[in-house]
Structure formats: C-alpha cells, structure tokens
Structure 1
C-alpha cells in the first residue's frame, strides 16, 4: 500500500529536488526513499525504477523550463525576447542543475509524449524569436541548434565555474546576447 498522500507527482518532484542537490549522476532510489520516509520497494508503487524516475524528472524540467521562458518572453520581441529567453534559460539551469541535466539527451517517444510536447513548446518559443529576425525555414534548424548550443554552453560552463578568468560574467552574457542579436539581424536581411 502506498504511503497515504504520496503520489507519482510527489515522488518525481522529490527526485528532482534530490538531483538538484546531489547531482543528477548521484540520483539513487535509496536516497529518494529515505527523503520521502518510505522503504525503497514502496517507490515501485509510483515509479517503475530509476529510468522511469529520470524520465519523469526530464518531463518535469522541460515543462518548468517551457513555462519559465514563455513567462519571461511575454510581451517582448526582437532582442528583448532573445535576452528574456536566454536569461530565463540560464537562470533555470543555475537553479535546477539536476533537473536540467535530465533533459539532455533524454529519448523522445511518440507524438503524444509529454517530453516531446514540452520540448516542442520550448523550440516554438525560440522559433518565434528567430522568425522575428527573418530566419527562413531552410535555416531554422541551424539557427535553433546555434541558440541551443550557445545557451546550454554558457549556462553549464557558468554552473561548473568554467569562467575563472577576469571580467564580469554578466557582462559577457550581455555581450553574447548582443552578438546573437546582430548575427540574426544580419541573416534576416539577406
């Protein structure tokens, strides 16, 4: 019998918090059971094992990320929308490193897969930004990959303390946004 009041949603949320605190690679069902005050076998009433928990965390993270970037972008366009997305993305990765790591390389299922749907909404937000710059369909996948690599790289390097040389990191972040803005503006003009 599952613990009274314990649900799959709570198990996944607790797993996500644990991944943020200890690192995604250190996520373990025993530690999760201890956090929830249950014996490890009790978790199997809510999840099918570690892989199912990891997938649940990826879905949760992508859904949260989608909401954060959409909220940040609301009412903006152009460089303001680009900066809003980048800032929301960076801040999410910094606040939830374990959850975010769960999304990287997570396998997508069929068309109704919640992870595919949430990830698709994040990409739609980026596409809105890029269409505002005049990026054409034939270049869209390249532009999307460029933004993903740039935002992912900056956020994960910052999280790993990868910018140890002099200079303000936030100034570099703002410079990166201006660089992307000019670059996409140039693409849109041609």
Structure 2
C-alpha cells in the first residue's frame, strides 16, 4: 500500500470532522472527504475500511475530545460546581462541533472497542462527580442517564431549532439544571 505523504489517519479524521461539522454527519461521504484532502477516493482505504469504519473512527475521535474537554472542566471541582461545569462544556462542544457531536450519539459503542473505551472513561467522569451525593451504584447510573438525556435533549433541540420561544436558551438550561440538582440534593 502506497500512502500519500502527509496523509495519515489523524489528518483524515480531522478533515472528516470538519466536513461533518460543515454539512452534517449524514452528508459525510468518502468522495467529499477525498476531494477535501486532494486525493482519490480509493486512497482513503489505506486508512479506513469504508464509510462505516470512518464513522466509527470519527465517533472515537469525538469521544476522545469530549472526554478530554469534560475531564479538564471538572478537575478540582465537585458536586454542583462539577455538574454545572460538565454541563456547560458538554453543550459548548455540541455547539462548536455539531457534526462531530452527531457522530458521538449515532454510533453503537458495542460495535467499536475504541468507542466503548472512551464511553467507559466518560461514564467514570460522571460517576466521580456524582459521588458526593451518595446515591449508590444503581441510582448513580439512573442519574447519569437523566443528566445525559437532559444535556442531549437541549443540544439536539438547539441544533434542530426546536426552541422557538423568545426565552434565552442558557437561562432555560440553567433553570432546569438547578431543578435537577435540587432533586439530587433532596434525594441524597
């Protein structure tokens, strides 16, 4: 296999993420990626095994960035401060990288060991910031599902222009997060 000088998997994923952010994940094709990179489509097969493999790799690429971003956001914080910081970072990522974020939630972690690895890391961050609430293992997992649903719901609705009322998005999010936190505090 002859590889184009300067083209490696990382370069390919960066370009794919840019395309996904610009046009949406569903519009990411090998042809469009090849054009962006200035290569012929068959050259991409030196780095990925087709579009499903590219999307899986893109999901892992996304999750690695999301884990790093969230980990940095919660370092030295706990409880409410950590949850609010995590939430803010999560939504900022979804806003800044819409196509990459789409890869995050449209990939089945059970089909990719790399995605599963980063998923586990993300889960562990959530678990650690919820420890001060003393919820127990099962309730912590329920809480993580609820918080992720809340964050994804806000991100998804915002991306799809689902909030049509003249209320500030961030004020609504802050209100709902504070209500969520009050529920955690009363349940702990």
TM-score range (shorter-chain normalised) is over 0.9
**Counterpart of 2:46 in 1: which secondary structure?**
coil
1:3-18 mapped onto 2 (5 Å cutoff): 3-18=4-19
Indicate the larger mover: 101-110 or 117-126: 101-110
Offset of residue 88 of structure 1:
0.4
**Counterpart of 1:48 in 2: which secondary structure?**
coil
RMSD over equivalenced CA pairs, Å: 1.4
1:21-40 mapped onto 2 (5 Å cutoff): 21-40=22-41
1:26-175 mapped onto 2 (5 Å cutoff): 26-109=27-110, 113-175=113-175
Normalising by structure 1, what TM-score?
0.94
**Counterpart of 1:158 in 2: which secondary structure?**
helix
Using the alignment, how far apart are the partners of 2:11 and 2:162 within structure 1? 33
- Alignment coverage as a number of residue pairs: 187
Offset of residue 95 of structure 1:
0.8
List per-residue Cα deviations over 1:37-89 (Å, max 9, x = no partner).
Answer: 00111111111110110011000000100011111111111111010000000
Offset of residue 108 of structure 1:
2.5
Query: Could you say which residue in structure 2 is the equivalent of 1:185?
Result: 185
Q: Is the 8 A contact 1:78 1:133 kept in 2?
A: yes
Normalising by structure 2, what TM-score?
0.94
Offset of residue 109 of structure 1:
4.3
**Counterpart of 1:140 in 2: which secondary structure?**
helix
List per-residue Cα deviations over 1:109-168 (Å, max 9, x = no partner).
Answer: 48x922111111111111112221121113122111101110100111112221110221
Structure 1: stretches of 5+ with no match in the other structure: none
Kindly report structure 1 stretches of 4+ aligned residues shifted beyond 4 Å.
none
